[in-house]
């Protein structure tokens, strides 16, 4: 299957040689493993700050490909979608999935061996069972008050 994320023409294992803050836009985008977990709605406890993950996905997430269906123009539909970058990583770490490539590198950890950058295959994240492929429900289908019924553990 062709990779919906452009990962060609990049230096071999660039993520091991460059800090996130020095990556080009193409390198930054190529780091995304396509798991879809950052596009799930979360529930945050106001008192404790704890974050619970739900399987209720953003309206733009395609639950089969785990891709944003309108990525380049997504803010027209979902203005609150966060544009992650080195400057706001620290503020967002608390809710980011544990296997997220950006979080791993920020924490000085290596990428998992199933990462498409390592396997050369965009399907490897799904085969490893760590993506949300086939596991989501759309936020169109679940009332906000019922998100609690859809809390899940992050597949890792
Ligand atoms: S959690 Fe990280 S690696 Fe997974 S889709 Fe989101 S940005 Fe990409
Ligand atoms: S707008 Fe797209 S990238 Fe942003 S949370 Fe929704 S599906 Fe994910």
Q: How confident is the model at residue 109 (pLDDT cuts 50, 70, 90)?
A: very high
**Does any domain span residue 8?**
no
**Does any domain span residue 129?**
yes
Beta carbon of 130 within 6 Å of any ligand 2 atom = no
Give residue 145 CA to ligand 2 midpoint distance, Å. 21
Beta carbon of 58 within 6 Å of any ligand 2 atom = yes
How many structural domains compose the chain?
1
Please provide residue 147's backbone torsions phi and psi, each rounded to the nearest 5 degrees. -55, -35
User: Which residues make Cβ contacts (< 8 Å) with residue 32, sequence separation at least 6?
Assistant: 5, 101, 102
**Does any domain span residue 6?**
no
Whether the per-residue pLDDT at 2 is higher than 80: the answer is: no
**Does any domain span residue 3?**
no
Whether the per-residue pLDDT at 75 is higher than 80: the answer is: yes
Beta carbon of 56 within 6 Å of any ligand 2 atom = no
**Does any domain span residue 46?**
yes
DSSP letters for 36-71: -GGGEEEEE-TTT--EEEEEEE-TTEETTTTEETTG
What pLDDT is stored for residue 1 in this prediction?
Answer: 58
What pLDDT is stored for residue 42 in this prediction?
Answer: 97
The percent of residues in the chain predicted with pLDDT above 90, rounded, is 93
Which of 33, 118, 122, 133 most suits a substitution to test ligand 1, by most atoms within 8 Å of the C-beta?
Answer: 33
Question: For ligand 1, which residues put their CB under 6 angstroms from it?
Answer: 32-38, 97, 100-102
Q: How confident is the model at residue 122 (pLDDT cuts 50, 70, 90)?
A: very high
- Cα(38)–Cα(57) distance, rounded to whole angstroms? 9
* Nearest Cα residue to 36 out of 53, 15, 19, 49: 53
- HSE-up of 93 (CA within 13 Å, CB side)? 10
pLDDT digits (tens, 9 = 90+) for 32-58: 999 999 999 999 999 998 999 999 999
Regarding pTM above 0.85, the answer is yes
Range(s) of the domain holding residue 121: 14-152
């Amino acid at each position: 299957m062709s990779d919906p994320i452009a990962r060609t023409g990049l230096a071999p294992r660039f993520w091991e040689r460059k800090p996130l803050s020095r990556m080009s836009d193409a390198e930054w985008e190529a780091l995304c493993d396509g798991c879809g977990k950052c596009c799930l709605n979360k529930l945050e406890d106001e008192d404790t700050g704890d974050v619970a993950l739900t399987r209720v996905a953003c309206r733009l997430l395609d639950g089969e490909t785990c891709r944003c269906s309108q990525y380049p123009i997504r803010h027209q539909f979902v203005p609150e979608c966060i544009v992650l970058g080195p400057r706001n990583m620290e503020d967002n770490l608390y809710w980011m999935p544990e296997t997220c490539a950006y979080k791993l590198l920020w924490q000085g950890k290596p990428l998992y061996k199933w990462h498409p950058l390592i396997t050369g295959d965009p399907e490897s994240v799904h085969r490893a069972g760590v993506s949300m492929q086939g596991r989501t429900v759309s936020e169109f289908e679940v009332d906000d008050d019922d998100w609690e019924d859809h809390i899940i553990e992050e597949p890792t």
